[in-house]
Amino acid sequence: MSLLEIRDLTMQFGGLTAVDRFNLTLNEGDIVGLIGPNGAGKTTVFNCLTGMYAPTGGEILLSGHRIDGLHPYEITRLGMARTFQNIRLFKQLTVYDNIRIAFHNQSKYNLATAVFRLPQFAKEEREILEKTEELLEIFGLYEHRNEIASSLPYGEQRQLEIARALATNPQILLLDEPAAGMNPQETEELTSLIRWVKERFDLTIFLIEHDMRLVMRLCERLVVLDYGITIAEGTPEEIQNNPQVIEAYLGEEAL
Amino acid sequence: MKKERILPSSGPSLRQKLSWLATGLVVLILLAVNIGVYRGAIDFYFSGVLVIAWINVILAVSLNLINGFTGQFSLGHAGFMAVGAYVSGLLTIHLDWPFPIVLLAAALVSALLGFVIGLPTLRLRGDYLAIATLGFGEIVRVVLLNLDITGGPRGLGGIFPKTTFFSAELVAILTIIVIWNIIRSSHGRAFVAVREDEIAAEAMGIDTTLYKVLAFSIGAAFAGVAGGLFAHHQMFIDPRSFTFQRSIEILVMVVLGGLGSITGSIIAAVVLTILPEALRGMAEYRMIVYALLLIGLMLVRPQGLFGTKELGDFLGIARVRWIKARQPAAGVLKSHGGDGR
Amino acid sequence: MQEVVQQLVNGISLGSIYGLIALGYTMVYGIIRLINFAHGDIYMIGAFVGYFAIRTFHLSFLPALLAAMAVSAVLGMVIERLAYRPLRNSTRIAALITAIGVSFLIQNTALLAWTPDPRSYPDVFPLRTYEIGGVYVDNRQIAILGVALVLMVVLHYIVNYTQIGRAMRAVSQDADTARLMGIDVDRVISFTFALGSALAAAAGVLVGIYYNRIDPTMGTMPGLKAFVAAVLGGIGVIPGAMLGGLVMGIAEVAVVALTESTWKDAVAFAILIVILLVRPAGLLGRQVREKV
C-alpha cells in the first residue's frame, strides 16, 4: 500500500480552478518535487493535503485512510507535517518553545494531571525536554535555544521550521520552498540537511521548490504543475528535456 | 557563533537583588496583613477592601488566561462573574448548600455558559470577538434585569455573608496555582501557540478550536467563583454591579500587569483595588484615572508593566530548570554537523 | 395595520439616528480597521454642544446643529491625532484598548463636568403632530428624517464625487499604495474622523430634540448599537451602515411593541452575534478568505 495517494484532487475558488484533477502516489521513502511557474497551484496542493483548505473534489488517502476534509491538526496527528512558504514560526517565542509546542501531541497527560502535577506530568515533560534538546542539537540550534525565533538569521529560521515540523513525528514531510531566499552555499547545506534528515527520521518527502539545482540533486521524481494542471511527471532528466515543461517555464517564443 | 549569549552571568545582577528584596517585602506585608486581619487589628472596612482585592486577583488572572495567554479578546468577563454571583446567591438563599459547594456550582454553571457561548463565538477574531463577548455580557445583564427569580432591577438581597478575608485569599491562591500549572504544561503551550499563530498551531497538531473554548470555559469558571465570593461578601447584588464597565476594569488590570503575565495581573489587581481606597478623594476620578492609564499604557508601554515576564524571570530562576535537564551530549548527533553546516 | 405602519415610522426615525452614528464607525473602520469605541461619546458631546448652543447662546435649530457638528469634528480629529495616530503601526488590539480608554475618558470627564443628572433639551420647535390615515407623525420625526437624508446625500456626494472622497476610498483599499500615489494619508484619515464625528454630533442633537433628554452616559448604548448596525450592514460599506441602522431601529421598536421594553437592549446584541456567525461580512459586505 502506498503511503500517500492523491486521486483527482481539485480545488476551486469561486469560478477559478486552482488545482485540476491532481494525481500523485507517494511510497515510503520517496522524495518527490512539485515544480511549476508562480501561481501554478503548488501551495494550494499543499494546503489541501494538510487540511488548510477543504478540496472541492477528489480524494486524499494517507496510509489508506481518507484525510481530505479533516482539520489540519488531525492530519498532523496522522503523520503529515509541513513548513510554510513564508516561514510561520511562533515569532515571539524562544527557539526552545517553538520546538516544545510541536511535541504537543506526544504528551498524553490531561489537564488534571497538569494542575495536580502528577508523576506522569514530570515524566512526559522530561521526555519532551530531552527530545527538544536532541532536535536542537541536530539542527545546530542548541546555542540559540533561548533566543526569540524572529531574531534568528533567515537561514536558521528555515531550519528551525523544519525542526519544528519534525517534532510532530511525521511520516511525510511537506516542504514549501525550503530554499527560498537562500544563497547558493546555504542551498547546498540545506540539500544535504534534507537528505540527512530523511535518512535519520525515516521520512517521505514532498517538496515545492524553485531552485532547480536543489530539486535536480535531491528528488527522484518530479511533478510539474501549470495553471493547476499536471503537465509532466518523471525523473529529473525526463523533466529537463520535456518540451511542454520548457514551454510552461519560458513561454512559447523560447522554443 | 554568538558565544557571548550563552555565557552565564557572574552572580545576581542588581535588578535581581532588588527583585528579591521586593519579593521578601511583599511576603512580609502579606504575612502582617494576615495576622492583622486574624487579630482584628485591621478594621472591618479595610478588610472588606482586601476581600475585593482578592476577588479582583481571581478575575484578572482568569481573564489573562483568555486575553493574555490564548490571545482571544474577551470583553464579557463581568457577564460570567454575574452568572456566578446569581447562581451562588440563589443556591445559598433557597437551598443553603455549604459554601464550597455553592462556589463549585457557580464555577460549573459559568464554565458551561462559557462553553456554550465560546463554541460559536470563537470563530471570530480580534476586535469582532471583543464586540461579540461585550454583547454577550450585555445580554446576561438584560436577562438578569428581566427574570423574576433574580429580582430584576431590584436585585437579590439577603445573601448570607460567607466570604471572609481568608476564604477569598484561599480561593485566590488556588486560582493562581491552578492557572499557573495549566500554563506551564503542554496544554498551556497550546494556548500560547494559538495566540502566536493559529495556522502554525494547527499545523503543529493543536486543536485550536478546542483550546480556545477551553480557555474561555476555564476563565469563565473562575470568573464565576469570583462572582460567588463577591455575592457572599456584598450580601446584595443587582445587575448594575456587572456592567460593561466592570469588564473594562478587569481588562485594565490585565493590560496594566501585562497580557501574558500572571505576576503582573496579581500586582495590578491588588494595586488598582487598594490605590483608589488609599486616596479617598480620588474616588470620583477613578474611572478617569483608569481611562488615562489605559491610553497612556498603550502609547508608552503596550506590553504592560511586566510584559510576559513572571516573578521567576526577575529573580533569575529559569523557567524550565525545575526539571533536571541533561547536559548537551557531545558527539552523538553531530554526524550531520560536518557536512551540513 | 395602522399599528404596524406607526411602529415602522417610529422605527425608521430611530433607525436613521443609528444609521448616522453607524456611518462614522463604518468609515473609520473602513479606513484604519479600528473600532472607534469613543464614537458614541462623540455623539454625546454633540448633543451637549447643541444643548449649550441653544440654551446658553440662544441659537436656533440649524446653527446649533452646525455648531455641534463643527465642535465634534474638531474633537474627532484631536482624538485621532493624540490617541490613535501614534498607534497606527501597533496591534489592532492595542488600538482597540486605547479607543475604549478614550471613550471612558470622555464619558467620565463629562460626568464630572455636567453631573450624571439628565437634562431636558430646550424646545427648538414646538411639537406638532400630524395624522395621516391614522398614523401619527410629528415634526421632530420629520426633522430627523430630513436631516438624516440630507446628510447622507451630502456624504454620498463627498465620498463619490470629490477629490478627498476619492482619496478616502483609495486609502481604505490600500493605505501604503495610496501614499505612494501621493495621497496625504494622515490628512485623509483626519478628514474621515471629522466627517464621522460631525454625523454623530448631528445624531446627538436630533436625539436630544426627539427624546428631550440628554446625559453624559447617553452615548454608550446607542454607540454600541450603531456599531452593531455597521456590522449588520457590512462594516466599511457606507450604504450598509444606513441599511443596518434602519433594520436595527425597526427591530428594536418591534421588540418594544411586542414584549417589555427592558428587553430592547438585548436585541442589538442578539442580532450582532447571529450576524457575526451567519454572515460576518454583513448584509452588503463581501466575504473574504484568509490567505494561508
- Please say whether the beta carbons of B247 and B76 come within 8 A: yes
Distance CA B168, CA B213 (A): 27
Domain ranges of chain B: 42-243
Interface check for A12 against chain C (CB to CB < 8 A): the answer is: no
**Cell triple for B268:** 495590578
Q: A residues 146-205 near C, CB within 8 Å?
A: none
Name chain A's partners: 3 or more CB pairs within 8 A.
Answer: B, C
State the pairing for strand pair A4-13/A57-62. Answer: antiparallel
Residues 6+ positions from A248 with CB-CB distance below 8 Å: A36, A37, A224, A226, A231
What b/e readout covers A215-229, taking b as 16+ CB neighbours within 10 angstroms? bbebbebbbbbbebb
| SS3 state of residue A82 | strand
Q: What pLDDT does B308 receive?
A: 86
Closest alpha carbon within chain B to A112: B182
CA dihedral (A181, A186, A192, A197) positive or negative? negative
Residues 6+ apart with CB under 8 A from B305: B256, B257, B258, B264, B267, B268
Q: What domains can you pick out in chain C, each with its CATH number? A: 2-116+128-278 (1.10.3470)
Q: How many C-beta atoms lie closer than 10 Å to residue A54's C-beta?
A: 12
Report DSSP state, residue B327.
Answer: P
Q: Encode chain C (292 residues) as per-residue pLDDT tens digits.
A: 778 888 898 899 999 999 999 999 999 988 888 889 899 999 999 999 999 999 999 999 999 999 999 999 999 999 999 999 998 888 877 888 899 899 989 999 999 999 999 999 988 878 888 888 888 888 888 989 999 999 999 999 999 999 999 999 999 888 889 999 889 999 999 999 999 999 999 999 999 998 889 999 999 889 989 988 998 998 888 889 999 999 999 999 988 888 777 788 888 888 888 887 788 788 887 655 545 4
pLDDT single digits (tens) B121-177: 777 777 778 888 888 898 899 899 888 888 888 889 888 999 999 999 999 999 999
Model pLDDT for residues B233-262, shown as the tens digit of each residue: 999 999 999 988 899 889 989 998 999 999
Residues in A closer than 8 angstroms to C292, CB to CB, are: 43, 47, 52-53, 84
pLDDT of B263: 93
Instruction: Please give the order of strands across the beta sheet that includes A229-234.
Output: A80-82, A172-176, A204-208, A31-35, A221-226, A229-234
Residues of chain A with pLDDT under 50: 253-255
- Neighbouring chains of C at 3+ CB pairs under 8 Å are A, B
Q: Which residues of C touch B294 (CB under 8 A)?
A: 97-98, 100-101, 104
Chain C residues with CB within 8 Å of chain A CB:
289, 292
Question: Does C144 reach chain B within 8 Å, measured CB to CB?
Answer: no
R_g of chain A computed on alpha carbons: 19
Residue A13's φ and ψ, nearest 5 degrees, are -110, 105
SS3 A170: coil
What pLDDT, on the 0 to 100 scale, is given for residue A181?
A: 84
To the nearest whole angstrom, how far is the Cα of A101 from the nearest Cα of chain B?
6
Residues C201, C204, C210: CA angle, nearest 5 degrees: 145
Q: How confident is the model at residue B282 (pLDDT cuts 50, 70, 90)?
A: low
Q: What are the grid coordinates assigned to C179, written together?
A: 501614499
- Asked if pLDDT for residue B333 goes beyond 70, the answer is no
Check pLDDT > 60 for residue B337: no
Q: What is the DSSP string of B107-139?
A: HHHHHHHHHHHHHHHTTS-HHHHHHHHHHHHHH
Q: Closest partner residue to B6 among A88, A134, A143, by Cβ?
A: A143
Contacts of B295 in chain C (CB under 8 A): 83, 98, 101-102, 105
Chain A residue whose CA is closest to B181: A115
pLDDT of residue B129: 84
Which chain C residues are closer than 8 Å to A47 by Cβ? 292
Say whether C129 sits in a helix, a strand or coil. strand
What letter would DSSP give residue C57? T
pLDDT of residue B322: 42
Contacts of A76 in chain B (CB under 8 A): 202-205
Give per-residue pLDDT as tens, A34-52. Answer: 998 888 899 999 999 999 9
Summarize pLDDT for B176-187 with one digit per residue, the tens.
999 999 999 999
Q: What residues in A contact B180, CB-CB < 8 Å?
A: none
Give me the pLDDT at residue B10, please: 55
Distances (CA, A) of B118 to A112, A125, B187, C23, C272: 21, 29, 18, 30, 15
Q: Does A47 touch chain C (CB under 8 A)?
A: yes
CATH for A4-254, options being 1.20.1250.20, 3.30.365.10, 3.40.50.300, 1.10.3720.10: 3.40.50.300
Q: Rounded to an integer, what distance in angstroms lies between the CA atom of residue A173 and that of residue A196?
A: 13
Q: What is the mean pLDDT of chain B?
A: 85
Interface check for A72 against chain C (CB to CB < 8 A): the answer is: no
Whether the CB-CB separation of A106 and A94 falls below 8 Å is answered with no
Question: For residue range B119-131, what is the model confidence (pLDDT) as tens digits?
Answer: 877 777 777 788 8
B20 pLDDT more than 90: no
Question: Any idea which residue has 421588540 for its cell?
Answer: C255
Q: What pLDDT does C287 receive?
A: 59
Of B135, B139, B248, nearest to C100 by CB-CB distance is B248
Average pLDDT, integer, range B317-334:
44
Contact: B291, C102; criterion CB under 8 Å? yes
Percent of chain B surpassing pLDDT 70: 88
> How is residue B139 written as a grid cell?
445580554
Asked whether the ipTM of the predicted complex exceeds the cut of 0.85, the reply is yes
Across chain C, mean pLDDT equals: 89
Q: What is the pLDDT of residue A167?
A: 95
Lowest mean pLDDT among B221-230, B315-324, C108-117: B315-324
Residue A12, helix vs strand vs coil: strand
Q: How many CB contacts within 8 angstroms connect chain B with chain C?
A: 114
Which whole-number Å values give the CA distances from B62 to B81, B129, B239, C35, in the listed order?
11, 17, 21, 25
- Computed from CA positions of residues A135, A138, A144, A149, in that sequence, does the dihedral angle turn out positive or negative? negative
Each domain of chain A, given as residue ranges in start order, spans 4-254
pLDDT score, position B304: 86
